[in-house]
Amino acid sequence: VGSCLGGQLGPSDKKNDMQWQNGISMGRNEPLKKERLKWKSDYPMTDGQLRSKRDEFWDTAPAFEGRKEIWDALKAAAYAAEANDHELAQAILDGASITLPHGTLCECYDELGNRYQLPIYCLSPPVNLLLEHTEEESVEPPEPTPSVRREFPLKVRLSTGKDVRLSASLPDTVGQLKRQLHAQEGIEPSWQRWFFSGKLLTDRTRLQETKIQKDFVIQVIINQPPPPQD
């Protein structure tokens, strides 16, 4: 996918790639191009795998030949360029006297003629990057801390006609209150359908999102499955 190299150019390389004067590179230097490099990974990778791959490269890059301060500058410039802050990236390169013969960070030189090559996965994500699901999509919101709980009696009216009062607070989720109703009345949470103002409330809905006020009533429809037949 890419390699990391940082080494002193040989005499033939110096003649081919750069012009030299008293051992200092005086060769071609193009401004950093704004076009984002496009590439496809050999296998689809997640954003987490891409970050790990980059971290591994940047952690080991200074161990190769080349100067650590140049590697640090290249890392900062790469992140700035990926964030579309090309002015900052160019300023970092200029400040470290890094030259780009082809206008990309794939191949760079410092003022002493050391050559640095950055793998493409450090410069842009692959076109086949996999999107990861966030924890919020599958995990219920955390329980509110006791210090912020301000409880009030919540009136729910069951489809059986019975009224029940629960102890609730605005940060509570419907899922938490379903479990409380189950503890009080023995009604399984999966049998409960909560409605307020004609809208079905999902388990992740917090009371504060419903705009419920004192003395308002939440309707609970109970869909108890029929008993199994012998």
pLDDT tens digits for 185-201?
A: 999 998 998 988 778 88
List the CATH code of the domain at 5-122: 1.20.225.20
Please report, as a single letter, which amino acid is at residue 40.
Answer: K
Would the pTM count as exceeding 0.85?
no
pLDDT band at residue 148 using 50, 70 and 90 as cut-offs: low
SS (H, E, C) the chain: CCCCEEEECCHHHHHHHCCEECCEECCCCCCCCCCCCCCCCCCCCEHHHHHHHHHHHHHHHHHCCCCHHHHHHHHHHHHHHHCCCHHHHHHHHHHCCCECCCCCCCEEECCCCEEEECCHHHCCCCCCCECCCCHHHCCCCCCCCHHHCCCEEEEEEECCCCEEEEEECCCCEHHHHHHHHHHHHCCCHHHEEEEECCEEECCCCEHHHHCCCCCCEEEEEECCCCCCCC
List the CATH code of the domain at 146-222: 3.10.20.90
Lowest average pLDDT, out of 59-73, 78-92, 124-138, goes to 124-138
Residue-averaged pLDDT of the chain:
80
Please state the domain extents for the chain: 5-122, 146-222
Q: Using one digit for the tens of pLDDT, what is the confidence trace for 86-121? A: 899 999 999 999 999 999 999 999 999 999 999 999
- pLDDT at position 1 is 46
Does 5-122 match 146-222 in CATH topology?
no
- In this predicted structure, the answer to whether residue 18 has a pLDDT above a threshold of 50 is no
Residues above pLDDT 90, as percent of the chain? 32
pLDDT band at residue 23 using 50, 70 and 90 as cut-offs: very low
- pLDDT at position 230 is 58
- pLDDT at position 115 is 92
Lowest average pLDDT, out of 43-47, 137-141, 166-170, 196-200, goes to 137-141
